[in-house]
């Protein structure tokens, strides 16, 4: 039960850390309306993460029951994590003015319609299951709540450091983007080794 909580929290936290629409919207909302409003936005975003996670879990269970599809999935997971790694590495910084005029309602809508969220959770959940990190009959409730908590914690960092965020993240020397990118590339390498062996 603790490992299920840990992996859900970690996967969601790492997936929510790279600067993007939701993190910029969190910072913008915090700067405009205060940290209380930023934390509320983070909480709503974390709840929306559940809407992405639940269909991904259902698809993951189906994938696990199909051996041929799982073989294809193992190779696809390598490509998926490599694409995430390179996309994070080469993602350009966003100009501050663009995000300061960005509506928090629009940010929530984009979060809800996020086309990358379900594939991310599908791949992460299936990889965690194939690696044995998630037991065969893990607690869906614990996994889902820990994922929501991971999203909230990552966005809470953006709320807490909103005043410093734009100065650091938009600086090309800021290493967070590179660290997350290397983490995704390491996951790709680990998955490739698993597939080859």
pLDDT tens profile 14-69: 988 877 778 878 888 888 889 998 898 899 889 888 888 888 888 888 877 888 88
Tell me which H or E stretch contains 119. helix 117-130
Q: pTM for the complete prediction?
A: 0.72
Residue-wise pLDDT tens digits, 75-98? 787 888 788 788 877 765 544 444
* Cα–Cα nearest to 160, from 32, 27, 46, 47: 27
Both tokens assigned to 73: 């999935």
Per-residue confidence (pLDDT) for residue 99, from 0 to 100: 45
Round to whole Å and give the CA distance between 1 and 19.
30
Round to whole Å and give the CA distance between 63 and 69.
6
Round to whole Å and give the CA distance between 77 and 35.
37
Per-residue confidence (pLDDT) for residue 28, from 0 to 100: 80
């Amino acid at each position: 039960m603790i490992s299920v909580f840990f992996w859900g929290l970690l996967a969601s936290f790492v997936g929510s850390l790279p600067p993007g629409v939701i993190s910029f919207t969190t910072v913008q909302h915090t700067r405009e309306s205060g940290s209380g409003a930023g934390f509320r936005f983070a909480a709503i975003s974390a709840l929306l993460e559940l809407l992405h996670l639940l269909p991904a879990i259902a698809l993951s269970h189906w994938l696990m029951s199909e051996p041929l599809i799982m073989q294809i999935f193992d190779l696809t997971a390598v490509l998926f994590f490599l694409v995430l790694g390179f996309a994070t590495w080469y993602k350009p910084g966003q100009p501050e003015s663009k995000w300061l005029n960005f509506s928090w309602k629009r940010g929530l809508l984009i979060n809800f319609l996020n086309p990358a969220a379900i594939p991310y959770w599908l791949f992460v959940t299936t990889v965690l299951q194939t690696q044995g990190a998630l037991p065969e009959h893990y607690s869906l409730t614990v996994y889902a709540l820990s994922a929501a908590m991971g999203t909230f914690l990552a966005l809470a960092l953006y709320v807490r450091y909103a005043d410093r965020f734009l100065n650091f993240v938009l600086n090309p020397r800021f290493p967070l983007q590179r660290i997350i990118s290397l983490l995704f590339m390491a996951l790709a390498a680990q998955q490739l080794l698993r597939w080859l062996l």
